Amino acid sequence: MNNDNNEVMLKVENITKRFPGTLALNEVSFEVKRGEVHAVVGENGAGKSTLMNIISGLLEPDEGRIVFMGGEVRFLNPREAQDAGIGFVHQELSLCPHLKVSENIFMGRLPHLKNTFVNRKRLKEMTDYFLEKFQADFAADDVVKNLTVAQQQIIEIAKALALDCKLLILDEPTSSITENETKVLFGIINEIKRQGMSILYISHRMEEIFQVCDSVTVIRDGCLINTLRTAGVTSDQVVRMMVGRNIENMYPPKSSGISDVILKVEGLKSKDVFKDISFSLRKGEILGFYGLVGAGRTEVMRALCGIDPCDNKVIEFRGDRVENNAYRRSIDRGIVYITEDRKSQGLFLKMSVENNISAAMIENIRTDFRIDRDKESALCGRYVGELGIKIASEKQKVDSLSGGNQQKVMIGKWLATYPKVLIMDEPTRGIDVGSKSEIHKMLRKLSEEGVGVIVISSELPEIIGLADRVIVMHEGTITGELSGDDIKEENIIIYASNFKTSSRAANE
């Protein structure tokens, strides 16, 4: 790797940005060299996305200046930044669901013939080039709304690469893709880096940062803490700079005692999605679900709660057979599911933090027929405190919160229903290291208090560190169950890719 290249690609000088009630960035300055992968880290709400939005012309800084490729720039809109060579993969997906993969990748810059007509052949060729690069399992002509979140994330990355840019900004690109796709992405990052492109890489996963990044800039509460070469620091040191204190032990201790079965599921089946799903959940344990994309974990949980219909299910909750399980009944019973897709399924973005937290159990804040403002604000205050949500006011609209804080608001909303079985789909997606360990601790605490906890995660370390027992799924069936010391990366991967059965199938 060629790192002694000292040409500066991007220089950010004394950038300050204020939002009503928040000083999001306070005189931040740093430099990105040509051909360098530069990480930007910080807690949720530290100002990383805001900084990137300023660099890419989406927001205007209140003060400070940006020098890109030797000249001062002041982009008025994203288009200008793109034309100058800055590509951006946003933290939140921004695709057009009704359109094809190819049309999304080349959104705003479709290849066309001399007249105005779309050059469909070229469009398909160009798209296939990117899909091949990612070894994607979908086609150029697929309509985006039929794809999974992970597949959409890949389109999002391809879209930025297709810009042929000089500086690529990746805001948490791996938060919803699997290990395999992450590896592919890293391969691509290394390749474009050799071609002299610079990359700004935002992630909450320290392993990734130390794996692909050359330097790291740490931001805390909108202030620049330091810029360092990754070779010279350890992950612990970076985390300490981020949060300003020591983070002890990442994962909480495992279960102290497992007792009776709370929830028992037998023969859950939905045609073409999953079949023969049987498992039980005991008091005091955290049950992990792992699988590759398309393994059907989310679908199983949704059917279990009664959100989606399924063909066959036998569910016992605390020893009683569950008959009617419309989702509202499930919630009242205490079985709740927290979605992996907070933006489109988990939050009321245009409503306040307060309104969101009380949304799932309006009973909590009712006095007779009235909504009791005091109760609502007390409820909100309680979960904002418990989860450490960073907000300017309880009346703030959720869509102006940073990604990680939105995630916490969603968790708060469900905790406020006092669940007995808590099913969390990717609970720490987009959450910073410190809060992540707090959420893990909170899950452990809930489980010790007798709440049944199921965690779906695509992050192996999380599953290994958190779960007492792991169920692994592959293409809609359960392929293995691990507990105690057997919960190891190798074992999980074997089940998740189902090597055993596939080798048997090959022999037949």
Q: Which residues bind ligand ATP (CB under 6 A)?
A: 19-20, 22, 24, 42, 44-50, 91, 390, 400-405, 432
E strand or H helix that includes residue 65: strand 63-68
To the nearest whole angstrom, how small is the minimum distance from the Cβ of residue 335 to Mg ion? 31
Amino acid (one-letter) located at 31: E
109 binds, among other proteins, Mg ion, ligand ATP, none (CB under 5 to 8 A by kind): other proteins
Amino acid (one-letter) located at 500: K
94 binds, among ligand ATP, other proteins, Mg ion, none (CB under 5 to 8 A by kind): other proteins
**Backbone torsions φ then ψ of 367, nearest 5 degrees:** -130, 115
Does 403 contact Mg ion by CB under 5 A? yes
- The partner residues of 286 in beta bridges, in order of sequence, read 453
Contact pick of 82, 91, 406, 479 for other proteins (by CB under 8 A): 82
**Local structure of residue 143 (DSSP, 8 states):** B
Contact pick of 96, 139, 314, 371 for other proteins (by CB under 8 A): 96
To the nearest whole angstrom, how small is the minimum distance from the Cβ of residue 15 to ligand ATP? 12
Of residues 111 and 334, the one with the C-beta less far from other proteins: 111
Residue tagged 């059917």 (tokens): 303
Amino acid (one-letter) located at 107: M
**Local structure of residue 398 (DSSP, 8 states):** G
Contact pick of 91, 215, 217, 230 for Mg ion (by CB under 5 A): 91
Cα 409 from Cα 414, distance rounded (Å): 9
Contact pick of 74, 79, 445, 500 for other proteins (by CB under 8 A): 79
Does 139 contact other proteins by CB under 8 A? no
Strand order of the sheet with strand 22-33?
71-73, 63-68, 8-19, 22-33, 223-229, 215-220, 37-41, 198-202, 167-171, 86-89
22 binds, among ligand ATP, other proteins, Mg ion, none (CB under 5 to 8 A by kind): ligand ATP
Of residues 48 and 283, the one with the C-beta less far from ligand ATP: 48
Does 116 contact other proteins by CB under 8 A? yes
> Helices in 220-261 by DSSP H: which ranges?
235-243
Of residues 177 and 466, the one with the C-beta less far from Mg ion: 177
Amino acid (one-letter) located at 294: G
What SS3 string covers 348-379? CCCCEHHHHHCCCCHHHHEECCEECHHHHHHH
Parallel, antiparallel or unpaired: strands 198-202 and 167-171: parallel
Q: Which stretch binds other proteins (CB under 8 A): 96-104, 164-172, 231-239, 485-493?
A: 96-104
To the nearest whole angstrom, how small is the minimum distance from the Cβ of residue 432 to ligand ATP? 6
Radius of gyration in angstroms for the set of CA atoms belonging to the chain, rounded to a whole number: 24
400 binds, among other proteins, Mg ion, ligand ATP, none (CB under 5 to 8 A by kind): ligand ATP
Does 107 contact other proteins by CB under 8 A? yes
401 binds, among Mg ion, ligand ATP, other proteins, none (CB under 5 to 8 A by kind): ligand ATP
If phi > 0 it is left, if psi is from -120 to 50 it is alpha, else beta; for residue 131 that is alpha
Q: Which stretch binds Mg ion (CB under 5 A): 159-167, 225-233, 399-407, 432-440?
A: 399-407
CA 456 to chain centre: 12
Of residues 197 and 401, the one with the C-beta less far from ligand ATP: 401
To the nearest whole angstrom, how small is the minimum distance from the Cβ of residue 404 to Mg ion? 7
Does 406 contact Mg ion by CB under 5 A? no
CA within 13 Å, CB half, 35: 11
Does 49 contact Mg ion by CB under 5 A? yes
458 binds, among other proteins, ligand ATP, Mg ion, none (CB under 5 to 8 A by kind): none
**How many degrees, rounded to 5, is the angle at CA 356 between CA 354 and CA 358?**
75
To the nearest whole angstrom, how small is the minimum distance from the Cβ of residue 259 to other proteins? 38
To the nearest whole angstrom, how small is the minimum distance from the Cβ of residue 53 to ligand ATP? 7
Helix crossing, 120-133 with 149-161: angle to 10°?
Answer: 110
Does 97 contact other proteins by CB under 8 A? yes
Contact pick of 98, 121, 194, 328 for other proteins (by CB under 8 A): 98
To the nearest whole angstrom, how small is the minimum distance from the Cβ of residue 262 to ligand ATP? 33
Quick one: tokens of 454? 């199921």
To the nearest whole angstrom, how small is the minimum distance from the Cβ of residue 99 to Mg ion? 26
If phi > 0 it is left, if psi is from -120 to 50 it is alpha, else beta; for residue 495 that is alpha
Give all strands (DSSP E) within 352-484, no chain letters.
366-367, 370-371, 421-425, 452-456, 469-474, 477-483
Helix crossing, 373-387 with 403-415: angle to 10°?
Answer: 120
Does 388 contact other proteins by CB under 8 A? no
Of residues 96 and 378, the one with the C-beta less far from other proteins: 96
Of residues 169 and 322, the one with the C-beta less far from other proteins: 169
Give all strands (DSSP E) within 295-334, no chain letters.
312-317, 320-321
Q: Which stretch binds Mg ion (CB under 5 A): 49-57, 313-321, 335-343, 375-383?
A: 49-57
Parallel, antiparallel or unpaired: strands 37-41 and 198-202: parallel
E strand or H helix that includes residue 256: none
To the nearest whole angstrom, how small is the minimum distance from the Cβ of residue 318 to other proteins? 30
If phi > 0 it is left, if psi is from -120 to 50 it is alpha, else beta; for residue 285 that is beta
To the nearest whole angstrom, how small is the minimum distance from the Cβ of residue 59 to other proteins? 12
Which residues bind to other proteins, rule: CB under 8 A? 58, 77-79, 82-83, 88, 90, 94-99, 103, 107-112, 116-118, 159, 270-272, 309
Residues of the shown chain interacting with Mg ion in the complex, contacts defined by CB under 5 A: 49, 91, 403
